[in-house]
């Protein structure tokens, strides 16, 4: 979590190996095996923003990566829709899957959903 410009998306891009320019310093250490896979864009008309985000999460789950990366999955959603998306993310984490997720300006409800131990 962090303010705009803090580097959340840049960090996600570095971890995913999507950065093609610039200077990256340091080591990336992840305790799980990772696989490189091709991006699979999904275009579906007639869905709400919330439905599109949930579909994107579902596509990621089907792809079965060792680590699921989500960059601001609640952006552009109202509080209710954000809570639904984060509840889905929490349910995935509760199954033992690893998710790396950035959240911009989270509400208290989102924090409660995402930080449950």
- pLDDT tens sequence across 23-75: 777 776 666 654 544 555 555 577 887 788 878 778 877 888 888 888 888 88
Q: Of all residues in the chain, what percent carry a pLDDT higher than 90?
A: 0
Which residues, 6+ apart, have CB-to-CB distance to 61 below 8 Å? 68, 92, 97
CATH tag, 8-22+40-114: 3.40.50.300
Q: Which sequence spans correspond to the domains of the chain?
A: 8-22+40-114
pTM over 0.75: no
User: Coil, helix or strand for 91?
Assistant: helix
**Residue 98: other Cβ atoms inside 10 A:** 14
The crossing angle, in degrees rounded to 10, of helices 79-94 and 49-63 is: 10
User: Coil, helix or strand for 60?
Assistant: helix
């Amino acid at each position: 979590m962090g303010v705009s410009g803090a580097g959340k998306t840049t960090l996600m891009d570095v971890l995913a190996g999507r950065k093609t320019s610039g200077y990256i310093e340091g080591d990336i250490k992840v305790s799980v095996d990772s696989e490189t896979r091709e991006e699979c864009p999904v275009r579906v008309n007639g869905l709400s923003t919330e439905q599109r985000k949930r579909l994107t999460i579902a596509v990621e789950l089907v792809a079965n990566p060792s680590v699921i990366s989500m960059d601001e999955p609640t952006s552009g959603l109202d509080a209710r829709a954000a809570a639904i998306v984060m509840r889905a993310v929490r349910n995935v984490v509760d199954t033992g899957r690893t998710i790396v997720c950035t959240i911009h300006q989270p509400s208290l409800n989102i924090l409660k959903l995402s930080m449950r131990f």
